[in-house]
């Protein structure tokens, strides 16, 4: 069976805004009912963005890395789920975080996706909480043992 091909790349909020917002609008707002006022925030302008595109250049997935090391707005269009896009996207984000020198990254995972993040070594911390009416848990991943030990 032939699997559709895709690429992951760094994206620029100003240049790639339409592609980035398309994926988030479909996944978060249309599928999950997140209101626009909760989806769009000032962090977009200062975050590092990542975009998954199919061979035709259509956006199929997105994520962002905030300046403080938080990963967010990870989304893959439904057709492309369970085809490795999310895994490739997360690997790209984690490589970028390591290259940027972050000792640790954090995220707020929807509880249905906890196992996905655990496969990368993320560990849950704190209690379940609601965000935009969706249950979440905070998760963190130590990227550099030596840096994390100095901060402890």
What digits encode the pLDDT tens for the residues 28-60? 999 999 999 999 999 999 999 999 999 999 999
pTM equals 0.89
pLDDT values of the chain reduced to their tens digit, one per residue, 152 residues: 455 699 999 999 999 999 999 999 999 999 999 999 999 999 999 999 999 999 999 999 999 999 999 999 999 999 999 999 999 999 999 999 999 999 999 999 999 999 999 999 999 998 999 988 899 999 999 997 654 444 44
For domain 6-151, which CATH number applies: 1.10.8.60, 3.40.50.300, 3.90.1150.10, 3.40.630.30?
A: 3.40.630.30
Report residue 44: phi and psi, to 5°.
-60, -40
d(Cα 73, Cα 79) in Å, to the nearest integer?
18
Distance separating alpha carbons of residues 24 and 36, to the nearest angstrom = 10
Closest CA to 113 of 143, 67, 76: 76
Give Rg (Cα) of the chain. Answer: 15
């Amino acid at each position: 069976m032939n699997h559709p091909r895709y690429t992951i790349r760094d994206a620029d909020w100003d240049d790639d805004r339409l592609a980035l917002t398309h994926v988030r609008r479909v996944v978060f707002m249309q599928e999950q009912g997140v209101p626009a006022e909760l989806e769009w925030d000032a962090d977009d302008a200062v975050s590092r963005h990542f975009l998954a595109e199919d061979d035709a250049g259509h956006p199929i997935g997105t994520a962002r890395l905030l300046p403080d090391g938080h990963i967010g707005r990870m989304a893959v269009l439904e057709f492309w789920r369970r085809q490795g896009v999310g895994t490739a996207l997360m690997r790209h984000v984690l490589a970028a975080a390591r290259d940027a020198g972050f000792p640790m990254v954090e995220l707020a995972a929807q509880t249905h996706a906890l196992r996905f993040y655990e496969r990368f070594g993320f560990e849950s911390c704190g209690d379940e909480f609601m965000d935009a009416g969706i249950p979440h848990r905070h998760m963190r991943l130590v990227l550099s043992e030596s840096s994390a030990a100095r901060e402890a």
